Amino acid sequence: MAREPALGGVKIPIGALLISVATTSIDESRDPEAGRLDFAGIALLGGGLSSIVWALIEANSAGWGSGSTLCKLAVGSVALGLFVVAERMQRRPMVDLLIFRDRTVVGAAVAMFGYAATAQGLCDATRILGRSRWNSHPSCST
């Protein structure tokens, strides 16, 4: 098994090569109709997602029905709801919500979520199997 310094010796030159190829072969693009940043959308989306992730991370230790977990989930849900309202009022929204009317887009999003959940579950199951079956340390079963 290779160690990180050996891998770093390969990744750095490849990254430098890709950066040089990208900067020399891809034309810069600009949106002539670009407006200002959507600070309300950024704050609401970032705050909402952060609150929900924080609730999910702390729920095992604080309890799934605890006041702090439910409060974080509620704050995140309200922030995401306000994000949808704010984006619907924008002339040029950060996220065009009309895209979710397309069944192909929604189907692809559901399929990607299913794939990601399955892949994560398999990784966790493999780690647990390695720990329980062969009595190995969690870092050895990854």
pLDDT tens for each residue of 66-118:
999 999 999 999 999 999 999 998 888 888 888 989 999 999 999 999 999 89
Tell me: do 82 and 109 sit in the same domain: no
Flag whether 134 is in a domain.
yes
Tell me: do 114 and 72 sit in the same domain: no
User: Residues 6 or more apart from 131 whose CB is under 8 A from it?
Assistant: 137, 138, 141
How deeply is 48 buried, as exposed, middle or buried, from its count of CB atoms within 10 A (0-12, 13-18, 19+)? buried
The count of other CB atoms within 10 Å of the CB of residue 83 is 25
Tell me: do 43 and 85 sit in the same domain: yes
Flag whether 27 is in a domain.
no
Domain boundary, last residue among 97, 114, 129: 97
At residue 56, the pLDDT reads 95
User: Does the pLDDT at position 53 exceed 60?
Assistant: yes
Q: pLDDT class for 1, splitting at 50, 70, 90?
A: very low
Flag whether 26 is in a domain.
no
Tell me: do 45 and 91 sit in the same domain: yes
Tell me: do 116 and 135 sit in the same domain: yes
At residue 85, the pLDDT reads 94
Overall number of domains in the chain = 2
Mean of the pLDDT values across residues 18-24? 92
Flag whether 107 is in a domain.
yes
User: Does the pLDDT at position 141 exceed 60?
Assistant: no
Domain that holds residue 69: 37-97
Mean of the pLDDT values across residues 114-140? 75
Tell me: the pLDDT tens digits for 23-46? 899 888 887 777 788 899 999 999
In this prediction the pTM is 0.61
Flag whether 41 is in a domain.
yes
User: Does the pLDDT at position 64 exceed 80?
Assistant: yes
Flag whether 1 is in a domain.
no
Tell me: do 71 and 107 sit in the same domain: no
Are 62 and 68 in contact by the 8 Å Cβ rule? The answer is yes
At residue 128, the pLDDT reads 75
Are 41 and 90 in contact by the 8 Å Cβ rule? The answer is yes
